[in-house]
Amino acid sequence: DGVQGEGYLDATSVYGYPGPIASVSNIPDDVALSFSISLCAYLRNRGVVSAFSRLHPLIDYDRVLAKVGAILNIGPTVSIDLTISNQEQWGRYRENHKRDIKYAREQGVACVHDERWTYLDDFIDIYYDNMRRVDADDFYFFEKSYFLRLRDLLEDYVELFVALRGNDVIAGGLFTYCDSIIQYHLGGTCTAHLDLSPSKLILDEVRRWGSSVGAKSLHL
């Protein structure tokens, strides 16, 4: 006699690229099957009738999720192959990107890997400025506590890079690095310095850093 659908739920994923985490890449069939059965039972017991999750496009989830539901490719993403030489990586850039990066350097812009997060407050201000400029939803205006918790909880797995012109921070980016994949998480450019394209310089520096530490991909 209750309302139709009452007590039943849909589930969705958190922001970013969540998905199942496994300790090995080659999951045995019996483990994958057991996971599928356990996950479906959990959802059923919670009254969840459908679940949607984004998945990281560089990770193969077929073995783990094949018996749970459909995996759909809804569009391309962009990544830089860090396993090839630095010269080959640079050679694959569009000419306008190369030109903008060279111009930024000529104008005195330098990229800094801010390992001590000295410029965090500057980055947050620039990030908010960027979100206002693109008229972003309120959801993307993360509280300062979000950035602090990201730094404290992920520790060695999250990196801050900033672009400086003199003493001024004009752009910045947060990147995660785990299991050979560098992931561009959040970024922003100061409105007054858009003409210098400092974010391109940051990405080029992160690419170089990624190659030096043995990463395989920089996913944008």
The percentage of residues in the chain with a pLDDT greater than 70, rounded to a whole number, is 98
| pLDDT for position 4 | 57
Reply yes or no on whether the pLDDT at 203 is more than 70. Answer: yes
Please give the residue that has the higher pLDDT: either 65 or 83. 83
| pLDDT for position 74 | 86
Mean pLDDT of 81-95: 96
| pLDDT for position 59 | 87
Among the listed ranges 52-56, 199-203, 212-216, which one has the minimum average pLDDT value? Answer: 52-56
Contact criterion met (CB below 8 Å) for 54 and 17: yes
Reply yes or no on whether the pLDDT at 2 is more than 70. Answer: no
Torsion angle defined by CA atoms of residues 205, 211, 215 and 220, in that order, rounded to the nearest 10 degrees: 40
**What percent helix, strand, coil does the chain show, rounded to 5?**
40, 20, 35
**CA 75 remoteness from chain centre:** 16
Give 133-166 pLDDT, tens digit per residue: 999 999 999 999 999 999 999 988 999 999 999 9
Is 117 buried (19+), middle (13-18) or exposed (0-12) by CB count in 10 A? middle
The mean of the pLDDT values for the chain is 92
What does DSSP assign to residue 13?
Answer: P
Reply yes or no on whether the pLDDT at 62 is more than 80. Answer: yes
Reply yes or no on whether the pLDDT at 1 is more than 80. Answer: no
